[in-house]
């Protein structure tokens, strides 16, 4: 009797890849490279309507987009836990949901923010819970999920949720069925390691997976992670979502994509059979 095979599809994060091109041109670049799905951070400098047109014009699906997380280049990592910026976040929620609806995107990532010296961390987390509930209740009206991500503190400052178990606990506090976990293998390798065990422990909460190699956040095959093994674990666990490519290409984006055969860049594949071009690293 043959086993049921979970399949995955890769999505390219155009907020990090194709940085050689203006943002609105990156969607066409991704399509030309053979991808069928994209994800991206909140486009603070671009009109949402122009973004929606660029995605549709390239014939792509958007699988995840971020709510406004503030000025990422200046160190912001989310607005949800800052009392002074709560109104800004809540004003962005309907705008982001309108963009998601225009793109038929059903998942939006909400970064919770960093610790602020003038506020106790528990107060900040309580505020973030309130704001995620606000976003989740509105997202539910259009069948969308809100994702919560643990982020490493080495590059992102004192981020409030830095480990998988903490993100899972936060989701429990929010207590909304459409709030789930975005699992970033790069961030979690930096913070806690033990990736396969944590995938097994938290797979029921995981709605989206992102990858980059560690420790430099470049493309798979440039660091210490064994992605063929990790994708096999995801297949074993029945994960059938997307694998987001959220990394900094070591050189230009096209040269950095040599690790992923073109025939695997679009459409569903068996994760256990993926990445023949990736070197066998030690997990």
How wide is the angle at C-alpha 181 spanned by C-alphas 162 and 147, nearest 5°? 100
Q: Respond yes or no: is residue 149 known to be catalytic.
A: yes
Residue 113, sorted as left (phi over 0), alpha (psi -120 to 50) or beta, turns out to be: left
The answer to whether residues 218 and 184 touch, using CB atoms and an 8 Å cutoff, is no
The answer to whether residues 237 and 246 touch, using CB atoms and an 8 Å cutoff, is no
Please state, in angstroms and rounded to a whole number, the distance separating the CA atoms of residues 241 and 166: 22
The answer to whether residues 259 and 278 touch, using CB atoms and an 8 Å cutoff, is yes
Catalytic residue selected from 122, 149, 155, 280: 149
The overall longest dimension of the chain from CA atoms, in Å, is: 61
Neighbour-count burial for 13-28, b at 16+ CB within 10 Å, e otherwise: bbbbbbeeeebbebbb
Catalytic residue selected from 118, 246, 254, 258: 246
Show the tokens assigned to 160.
Answer: 């409030």
Ordered DSSP codes for 15-28: TTTTTTS-GGGHHH
Instruction: Tell me how crowded residue 30 is: count the other CB atoms within 10 A of its CB.
Output: 26
Show the tokens assigned to 44.
Answer: 């603070």
Which residues are designated catalytic? 149, 246
């Amino acid at each position: 009797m043959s086993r049921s095979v979970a399949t995955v599809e890769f999505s390219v994060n155009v907020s990090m890849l194709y940085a050689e091109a203006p943002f609105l041109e990156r969607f066409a670049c991704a399509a030309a490279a053979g991808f069928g799905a994209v994800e991206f951070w909140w486009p603070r400098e671009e009109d949402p309507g122009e973004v929606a047109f660029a995605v549709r014009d390239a014939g792509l699906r958007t699988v995840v987009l971020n709510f406004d997380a503030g000025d990422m280049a200046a160190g912001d990592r989310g607005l949800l836990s800052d009392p002074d910026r709560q109104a800004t976040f809540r004003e962005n929620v309907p705008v982001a949901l309108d963009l998601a609806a225009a793109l038929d995107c059903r998942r939006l990532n909400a970064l919770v923010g960093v610790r602020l010296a003038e506020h106790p961390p528990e107060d900040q987390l309580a505020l973030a819970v309130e704001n995620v509930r606000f976003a989740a209740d509105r997202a539910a009206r259009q069948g969308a999920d809100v994702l919560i991500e643990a982020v490493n503190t080495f590059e992102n400052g004192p981020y409030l949720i830095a480990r998988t178990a903490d993100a899972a606990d936060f989701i429990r506090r929010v207590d909304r069925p459409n709030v789930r976990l975005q699992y970033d293998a790069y961030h979690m390798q930096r913070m806690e390691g033990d990736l396969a065990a944590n995938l097994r422990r938290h797979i029921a909460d995981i709605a989206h997976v992102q990858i980059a190699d560690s420790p430099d956040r470049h493309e798979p095959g440039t660091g210490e992670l064994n992605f063929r093994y990790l994708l096999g674990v995801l297949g074993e666990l029945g994960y059938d979502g997307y694998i987001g490519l959220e990394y900094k290409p070591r050189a230009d984006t096209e040269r950095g994509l040599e690790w992923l055969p073109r025939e695997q860049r679009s459409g569903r594949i068996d994760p256990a059979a993926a990445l023949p071009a990736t070197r066998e690293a030690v997990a």
